[in-house]
């Protein structure tokens, strides 16, 4: 199984869209990481260095913004 993480905010419509797409594709095993917009994690800053925003889907260590 591939390593899959989703960085996001619970009420973000963009994050909700990604979660719905994963659900529609039958992907139920992924780690959801809740981000604090006022204190961004190193993982978020490393994964999306240009915009520094969520959602970011990380598949096998490769970020998809």
Tens-binned pLDDT, residue by residue, of the chain (65 aa): 579 999 999 999 999 999 999 999 999 999 999 999 999 999 999 999 999 999 999 999 999 99
31: which DSSP letter? E
55: its two tokens: 């959602």
The CA–CA distances, whole Å, from 28 to 5, 8, 45, 50, 53 equal 11, 16, 25, 29, 23
Domains of the chain listed by start with CATH number: 4-64 (3.40.30.10)
Task: Kindly write down the DSSP assignment for every residue of 39-65, as one continuous string.
Answer: B--HHHHHHSTTT--S-EEEETTEEE-
Which residues lie closer than 8 Å to 42 by C-beta, 6 or more apart? none
pLDDT for 36: 95
């Amino acid at each position: 199984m591939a390593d899959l993480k989703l960085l996001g905010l619970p009420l973000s419509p963009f994050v909700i869209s990604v979660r719905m797409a994963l659900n529609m594709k039958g992907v139920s095993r992924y780690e959801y990481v809740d981000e604090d917009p006022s204190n961004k994690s190193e993982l978020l800053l490393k994964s999306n260095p240009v915009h520094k925003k969520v959602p970011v889907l990380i598949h096998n260590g490769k970020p998809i913004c």
